[in-house]
Structure 1
Amino acid sequence: MSGTTERLKDEGSRLQVTAAGATAGLISRFVIAPLDVVKIRLQLQTHSKTSPSEHKPIYRGTLQTLRHIVEHEGITGLWKGNVPAELLYICYSAVQFTTYRSATLLIHQTVGENRLPHVTESFIAGAASGAAATAATYPLDLLRTRFAAQGNDKIYTSLQRAVLQIGRDEGFRGFFRGLGPGLAQIVPFMGMFFAVYETLRPTLGQLDLPIVGVGGGAALAGMTASVVAKTGSFPLDLVRKRIQVQGPTRGRYVHKNIPEYQSTVGTVRTILKHEGIRGLYRGLTVSLLKAAPASAVTMWTYEKALRFYMALGEKKVGDM
């Protein structure tokens, strides 16, 4: 198969898909790191719906949060947690795209090719890839959140010290705080993302859309898919972040008043009781601002990287 209508999951060898996914994750993460830090800070910020003056919010909106971080923590504050985040995105993207391809091939072997509706097949493969990547890389996600949540009063001075400290004070389970809502969020998110992306890509990929940027139609498909999926699954992402910063260091982050949460359901109930429905969507705006370019960069870089690695592989075969 060839051309822009080729399906993403049917292209390339396993190694080429893994390398392309890792490359896409590395570049995408660095580009959107500042917005990711802003999103995490807003998600962890509580604000009582009954007493607005109680625990006056530090951050008010995306731009104000960006300015506040730069003013009080310097420009490097916008890249806090970037080391574990880069490792997370590289590993996550590699596992995600590899599992997506493998899950699709497994569906073809067990059910038959073209036996399931295209959207259904993409949803199943996307959900499986998201669950596998989340579980495999979750400790890095937790470390990313904790580094992004700490201010000038550093709790963790390095990645190595953080791993040792969490392991000592919280045990092995400490690295997986919030995994439940993480899986509950990522399965529908990745399912919806790939279903929408695979549906739009064949059509949009053929369009010349310079306004979108270097990614053209493929970038627009990725942006649209990300916005739809992120909005639908955002509350569980917020719950995951709140649970990730539980433990002995809970009161030492930028937000000193993070409540104590015990479970996914209990966290949702507490947020609804004290912050209202809006409390479940804190940081959604910046999350969408982050998700759209991140997905566009990820999918466009993945497509280009995969073709580069495939061409490189063909060149090596031709030279033999």
Structure 2
Amino acid sequence: MSGGGSSTSRSTRDLICHAGAGAAAGAIAATFVCPLDVIKTRLQVHGLPSGQRGGSIIVTSLQDIMRSEGFRGLYRGLSPTILALLPNWAVYFTVYEHLKGVLHSDGDDGHQLSFGANMVAAAGAGGSTAIATNPLWVVKTRLQTQGMRPGVVPYTGMVSAFTRIIQEEGIRGLYSGILPSLVGISHVAIQFPAYEKLKSYMAKRDNTTIEKLTPGHLAIASSLSKVMASVTTYPHEVVRSRMQEQGQARNVAPQYSGVLDCIKKVFQKEGLPGFYRGCATNLLRTTPSAVITFTSYEMIHRFLLQFIPQGEEKPSPHLNSNSNSHVKPQKANRDNSKEESDSSLQQSQSQPSKQTRIPLGNKEQLASRH
């Protein structure tokens, strides 16, 4: 996740590599862990099933989904998840790398940004991404949870979900849960700086560079940073999911009037553990997801940097003006050196005549001495 170069062509190439690698890695990870994501979202919204013990919740949930909805139920919401990842990572890395470049240019002498500066860049990128992609996450949440509400007319797909949400709830429905999503920037504000610092520590410990870290090192850094961020910020995900899910049923009043009302009711009904429903499942999902996402991202990014040719940097006008200002002095120096060489040539041509007389004189002197 290194910063881009100074030239426009290099910056564009770096941003394309960041966005492309991020989207591809995110799509791979989303496909791999989608069943766990479905279980986590349903636990966040509806809590534990009655009479269910926590030890077998994952296995039991998988069996229930397979029995009631079939194999397809394990991949509810995968299409909007993958679709959301494309603009999600494109926006995120565009803003993230730009902010890192701005913070570097504002007096950061070292190559590695400080933890605080990295938090600012990650938070700014996270806020932009949340606003741009929130409608897609609302659709994903609705598709993943509609199987648990038999009284609701189900969406037939992504287009049906978008159309009905706009018709029944307006644009506001697509931005359900936007406030907790914005609070969720604290997640990336912790995860990305921690990831950068862990990579820097490992590179320094092994006396190498960040770009040459092995996939094993990247897996350790990504898993530790993800666990740290997930445990710290998980309660906001519960509130966000519940805010996004409500409004799916027709002619039913929303259960929560707002974010504060949602927090109050969850705490009154379920206590503090209610804010951590599905956290264990989430950790089982986010740990391999983070490993797959970040390791794939780094590997794909390195490949794209080699695959996409780097544009030639055009000399700046300042450099051209400086180079032009030196043309005449250099030409004058060449002319002076030419004149000096011509004069020395003339001297060398006249010098042999003197040299032919000197040996003769020397011979006469030697003869007279003998």
Q: Which TM-score band (shorter chain)?
A: 0.7 to 0.9
Q: TM-score, normalised by structure 1?
A: 0.84
Cα distance, 1:248 vs. partner? 4.8
1:273 lines up with 2:265 in the alignment = no
In structure 2, the residue corresponding to 1:314 is in which secondary structure? Answer: coil
Provide closer, same or farther for how the CA distance between residues 46 and 300 of structure 1 changes in structure 2, counting only shifts above 3 A. closer
Of 226-235 and 194-203, the range deviating more from structure 2 = 194-203
In the TM superposition, residue 173 of structure 1 has moved relative to its aligned partner by 0.6
Deviation of 1:109 after TM superposition, in Å, equals: 2.7
Which ranges of 4 or more aligned residues in structure 1 deviate by more than 3 Å?
57-60, 110-117, 203-207, 314-317
Report the counterpart of residue 36 of structure 1 in structure 2: 37
Q: CA RMSD in A?
A: 2.6
Give the alignment partner of residue 151 of structure 1, picking from 147, 150, 168: 147
What do residues 188-219 of structure 1 show as CA deviations (whole Å, max 9, x unaligned)?
A: 11010011101111233576xxxxxx831111
Q: Which runs of 5+ in 2 are unaligned?
A: 5-12, 207-213, 313-370
Which residue of structure 2 lines up, in the alignment, with residue 76 of structure 1? 72
Q: 1:67 aligns with which of 63, 70, 91?
A: 63
Which protein is richer in helix relative to its size?
2
- 3-state SS of the aligned residue for 1:181? helix
Per-residue deviation, residues 246-266 of structure 1 (Å, max 9, x unmatched): 1151799xxxxx970111111
Alpha carbons 2:218, 2:294 under 8 Å: kept:
yes
Q: What is the Cα deviation at residue 101 of structure 1?
A: 0.8
For residues 108 and 117 of structure 1, the distance between their equivalents in structure 2, rounded to whole angstroms, comes to 7
Taking a change above 3 Å as real, the CA distance of residues 170 and 202 of structure 1, as seen in their structure-2 partners, is same
2:255 is matched with 260
Q: For residue 160 of structure 2, what is the aligned residue in structure 1?
A: 161
Match of 2:195 in 1: 197
Higher alpha-carbon Rg = 2
Q: What TM-score comes out, normalization by structure 2 length?
A: 0.73
Match of 1:13, SS state, is helix
Question: What is the CA-CA distance between 1:169 and the residue it aligns to?
Answer: 0.4
Which aligned pairs between 1:105-120 and structure 2 lie closer than 5 A?
105-114=101-110, 118-120=114-116
In the TM superposition, what is the alpha-carbon distance from 1:42 to its structure 2 partner?
Answer: 0.6
Task: Give the paired residue count.
Answer: 291
1:181 counterpart = 2:180: yes
Kindly provide the amino acid, as one letter, of the partner of residue 117 in structure 2. Answer: E
The answer to whether the 8 A contact 2:247-2:254 is kept is no
Q: Is 1:287–2:282 an aligned residue pair?
A: yes
Identity in percent: 29
Cα 1:250/1:184, change in 2 over 3 Å:
farther
Question: Which deviates the most, 149-158 or 171-180?
Answer: 149-158
Instruction: Give ranges in structure 1 of 5+ residues lacking alignment.
Output: 1-7, 48-54, 208-213, 253-257
Pick 1 or 2: higher relative contact order, CA cutoff 8 A, min separation 6.
1
Instruction: Give the equivalent residue in structure 2 for 1:307.
Output: 302
Identify which of 116, 119, 128 aligns with 1:123.
119
Cα displacement (A) at 1:73: 1.2
- Alpha-carbon distance, 1:91 to partner: 2.1
